[in-house]
């Protein structure tokens, strides 16, 4: 197998804690040769920390000097589009952080260019690699669920508006809880159904708590600079008559500190995760099935590996450019519905 040259764009936490360690673990397949950040000192510090040869503050320089095969984009949401387009134009495979872009048209263009260039563009929805989700896919494949007709997907926090970063900045993030949390479980729900495009989308967004302020559990946010939704709900229907109920929230007056659930209802069985349980009939009786020994997996490592598989033309369950475009369109339709 040819080894690939990789570069990382973006010098924040997600590069430092997720992508760089994953690439280092996969050093039999990939060489991380450069890190690029607007702040050169940050890029260099990160490169030194992880033993990466090059550091840049201009992507043009990066492409000129290093000619990477693969680019990992870990910048704020508003930069995903331009940096992906540039990387694809440079002939690189691209592994872009979620969400794909600020709007549906950008995501569509990104997918089209990737297709046109014959390059892999993938998005980093790591939950696809969770043991629980892998088991769901096996249960579905084994027919244990029958026809799946309804999914409840939720990723909500009681008072988890981050007190750091750009999470509440509309221009840079494009949105709030839906863009940051909701897309994870929406991606899982869509993937479970085969990634269909919904025929109808109805949604709502809220910002009462974000704008009012209060006790924070992820640091203290600034209510006066709170520009995004603190929560969103939506309902999607699909041509095959299936439906999805979606809830995403940074701040909800509920009991749990956070909930990240996928409830899948099928004609023969239903599954709930996380954690995973299966509810069906077995031997003529209603059965509850638990799997107490699911492995605890490094989902970033596995997702980066899945991206590299895709680059190598191997089967892979990484989120594709096409799927990213469908998802981004749904997000946009939810926001539009909420603005009615």
Binding site for a second copy (CB under 8 A): 135, 138-139, 142, 144, 146-147, 149-150, 158-159, 199-200, 202, 204, 206, 208-209, 212, 214-215, 217, 231, 233-235, 237, 241-243, 245, 247, 252-255, 257, 263, 265-270, 272, 277-294, 337, 340
Nearer to a second copy, 138 or 314 (CB): 138
Least distance from a second copy to the Cβ atom of residue 25, Å: 20
Nearer to a second copy, 11 or 160 (CB): 160
Q: Residues 190, 317: contact at Cβ < 8 Å?
A: no
Nearer to a second copy, 39 or 281 (CB): 281
| Burial degree of 306 (CB within 10 A; 0-12, 13-18, 19+) | buried
Task: Count CB atoms within 10 A of the CB of residue 173.
Answer: 20
Cα–Cα distances in angstroms (integers) from residue 139 to residues 134, 145, 149, 273, in the given order: 9, 7, 15, 13
How many Cα atoms are found within 13 Å in the side-chain-facing hemisphere of 226?
Answer: 23
Q: Which two tokens stand for residue 111?
A: 């997918």
Least distance from a second copy to the Cβ atom of residue 290, Å: 5
Q: Residues 100, 80: contact at Cβ < 8 Å?
A: yes
Least distance from a second copy to the Cβ atom of residue 302, Å: 16
CA distance 103 to 226: 20
Nearer to a second copy, 313 or 315 (CB): 315
Task: Count CB atoms within 10 A of the CB of residue 145.
Answer: 22
Least distance from a second copy to the Cβ atom of residue 271, Å: 8
Nearer to a second copy, 19 or 157 (CB): 157
Least distance from a second copy to the Cβ atom of residue 190, Å: 16
Residue whose entry in the numeric block shows the structure tokens 């990939």: 30
323 closest CA partner among 229, 204, 189, 201: 189
Instruction: Give the rounded distance of the alpha carbon of 121 from its chain centre.
Output: 13
Least distance from a second copy to the Cβ atom of residue 148, Å: 10
Nearer to a second copy, 268 or 314 (CB): 268
- Omega cis (within 30) before 274: yes
């Amino acid at each position: 197998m040819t080894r690939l040259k990789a570069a990382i764009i973006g010098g924040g936490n997600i590069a430092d804690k997720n992508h760089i360690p994953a690439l280092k673990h996969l050093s039999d397949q990939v060489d991380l040769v450069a890190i690029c950040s607007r702040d050169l000192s940050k890029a260099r510090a990160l490169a030194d920390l992880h033993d990466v040869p090059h550091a840049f503050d201009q992507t043009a320089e990066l492409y000129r000097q290093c000619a990477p095969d693969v680019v990992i984009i870990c910048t704020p949401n508003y930069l995903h589009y331009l940096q992906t387009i540039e990387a694809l134009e440079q002939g690189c495979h691209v592994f872009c952080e979620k969400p794909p872009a600020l709007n549906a048209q950008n995501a569509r263009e990104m997918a089209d260019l990737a297709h046109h260039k014959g390059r892999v563009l993938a998005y980093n929805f790591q939950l696809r690699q969770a043991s629980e989700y892998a088991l769901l896919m096996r249960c579905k494949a084994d027919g244990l669920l029958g026809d799946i007709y309804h999914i409840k997907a939720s990723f909500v926090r009681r008072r988890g508006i981050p007190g750091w970063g750009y999470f509440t900045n509309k221009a840079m993030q494009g949105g709030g809880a839906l863009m940051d949390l909701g897309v994870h479980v929406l991606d899982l729900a869509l993937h479970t159904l085969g990634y269909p495009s919904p025929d109808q989308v109805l949604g709502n967004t809220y910002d009462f708590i974000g704008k009012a302020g209060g006790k924070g559990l992820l640091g203290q946010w600034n209510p006066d600079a709170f520009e995004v939704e603190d929560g969103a709900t939506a309902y999607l229907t699909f041509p095959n008559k299936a439906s999805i109920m979606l809830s995403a929230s940074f701040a909800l007056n509920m009991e749990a500190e956070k909930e990240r659930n996928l409830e899948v209802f099928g004609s023969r069985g239903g599954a709930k995760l996380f954690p995973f349980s299966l509810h069906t009939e077995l031997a003529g009786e209603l059965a509850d099935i638990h799997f107490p020994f699911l492995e605890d997996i490094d989902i970033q490592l596995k997702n980066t590996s899945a991206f590299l598989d895709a680059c190598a033309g191997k089967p892979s369950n990484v989120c594709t450019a096409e799927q990213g475009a469908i998802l981004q369109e749904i997000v946009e339709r939810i926001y539009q519905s909420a603005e009615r």
